Chains A and B, each alone.
Chain A
Amino acid sequence: MRKVVIIGGSAAGMMAAIAAAEQDKNAEVTVISTDATAYRRPGIPALISGYVSEPGQVGVFSERTLTRHNVELLCPAEVIDIDAKNKTVTVESEGKKRQLAFDSAVIATGGYPIIPGIPGSDKKGVCTFTTFEGARQIIESVRDAETVVVIGAGFIALEIAEALMHKDLEVSEFLSRRFERKRLRMLTGEAISEIGGEKSVKYVLHKGKKIPTTVVIMGTGMRPNVALAEKCGIKLGKSGAIKVDSRMQTSVPNIYAAGDCAESPDLGTGRFVYSPVGSIGAMAGRIAGRNAAGGNEQTEGFLRAQADEILGVQMFSIGHSATTAKEVDLEVKMQDLAAPEQAEKDYGPRAFELAKLLTDKEDRIVGAQLVTSRHGSQYAWQLYRAVLVSEDRAEFLEHFISPRAKFAGALVQTITSTISVESFEGGESLTWRNTPK
Chain B
Amino acid sequence: MDKIIVVNIDKCLACKSCELACAVAHSKSKVLQEAIAESPMPQRMLAVEVAGEYGVPIQCRHCEAAPCIEICPTGAIRRENEESPVLVDEDLCIGCKLCMLICPFGILKIGREGRAIIKCDMCLERLQAGEQPECVAACPTKALVCISINELTESKRKKASEQLTKKSREGAKSQTRKKTK
Contacts and interface: CB of A to CB of B under 8 A. Distances in A.
B114 A377 contact: no
Interface stretch (A58-66, A100-108, A224-232): A58-66
Interface string B142-181: 0000000000000000001001100110010000000000
Q: Interface of chain A, helix or strand or loop or mixed?
A: helix
A389 B10 CA distance: 40
A159 B112 CA distance: 12
B98 interface: yes
Given A305-B101, A409-B51, A415 B10 contact: yes
Contacts of B73: 15, 279-280, 282-283, 286
Contacts of A423: 171
B137 interface: no
Interface stretch (B23-31, B52-60, B124-132): B52-60
Contact of B97 (A11, A306, A412): A306
Contacts of B67: 381
Interface stretch (A37-45, A81-89, A241-249, A332-340): A37-45
Interface string A385-403: 0000000000000000001
Nearest to B167: A421
B116 A60 contact: yes
A403 B96 contact: no
Candidate in B75, B106, B164, B168 with the most chain A CB atoms within 10 angstroms: B106
A381 B102 contact: yes
Given A45-B114, A381-B104, A11 B94 contact: yes
A184 interface: no
Interface residues of B, number: 48
Contact of A380 (B89, B102, B113): B102
A263 B9 CA distance: 50
Interface in A1-36: 11, 15, 18
Contacts of A305: 98, 101
B105 A412 contact: no
Interface string B99-137: 011111110111011111000000000000000000000
B93 interface: yes
A428 B164 contact: yes
Nearest to A61: B91
A425 interface: no
B164 A405 contact: no
A279 B105 contact: no
Nearest to A38: B91
B2 interface: no
Given A377-B101, A419-B160, A404 B106 contact: yes
Interface of B: 7-10, 39-40, 49-52, 54, 56, 58, 67, 71, 73-75, 89, 91-98, 100-106, 108-110, 112-116, 160, 163-164, 167-168, 171
Interface of A: 11, 15, 18, 40, 42-43, 45-47, 49, 51-52, 57-58, 60-62, 64-65, 163, 277-280, 282-283, 286, 305-309, 316, 318, 346, 375-378, 380-382, 384, 403-405, 407-409, 411-412, 415, 419, 421, 423, 428-430
21 contacts: A11-B74, A11-B94, A46-B113, A49-B114, A60-B94, A60-B115, A61-B92, A64-B91, A163-B114, A277-B96, A279-B94, A306-B97, A306-B101, A307-B100, A308-B97, A380-B101, A404-B105, A404-B106, A411-B9, A411-B56, A428-B167
Given A43-B115, A305-B101, A409-B52, 7 more contacts: A11-B96, A46-B115, A52-B113, A286-B74, A381-B101, A429-B164, A430-B164
